[in-house]
Amino acid sequence: MNIKRQTLKYLVLCCAITTTQVSFADSASAGENPNDKYLFHPDESKQTDFATDVNPIHEKSLQGFDCMDLDNNGYLSENELEKRDECVQNAELRGLESSTRTTLILDLMDADRDLRVSKREFNIWNEMRYQQN
């Protein structure tokens, strides 16, 4: 009976040591996974700069943006959007009167809902419209 008890203690001790070593090895290599760089990390890949320069597929997609962006901050405010008539040759043909058109543009293009339109949003919206026609 004494031999069985010692054998049982020895087996339990071996299992405990093995389990501890395996869990320690897993926790140590968790941050060093070579495939980790291919996984999606929402915080790391979150886009924060919406005013970055874009390379439009069609030149018309950014037509008038630089002219309307009076303060050169990469965004169009309500007042700057009202300058669309002066900056885009065929703006009157595309829309309504200035104030209604500005409201409509903000409703449709302002993805961040901050009452301004970034260069990227402007480009995407015009690319979509260009491809629909």
Residue 121 lies in a domain: yes
Q: pLDDT tens digits for 68-77?
A: 888 888 888 8
Q: Which pair of structure tokens corresponds to residue 49?
A: 């700069």
> What is the SS3 assignment for 118?
strand
**Residue 127 pLDDT:** 81
Reported as a pLDDT band with limits 50, 70 and 90, residue 64 is confident
Residue holding tokens 């005013």? 51
Q: Give the separation between CA 24 and CA 101, rounded to whole angstroms.
A: 62
pLDDT of 116 strictly over 70:
yes
Q: pLDDT tens digits for 24-53?
A: 555 555 556 666 665 655 565 555 555 556
> 15 with 79, same domain?
no
Residue 44 lies in a domain: no
Q: Measure CA 42 to chain center.
A: 9
Sorted by sequence, the CB contacts under 8 Å of residue 19 that are 6+ apart come out as none
Q: Give the separation between CA 37 and CA 54, rounded to whole angstroms.
A: 26
Structural domain of 15: 1-28
119 CB burial (10 A radius; 0-12, 13-18, 19+): buried
Count of CA atoms in the C-beta half-sphere (13 A) of 71: 11
Share of the chain above pLDDT 70, in %: 55
Residue 46 lies in a domain: no
Residue 36 lies in a domain: no
Q: What CATH number is attached to the domain comprising 119?
A: 1.10.238.10
Residue 24 lies in a domain: yes
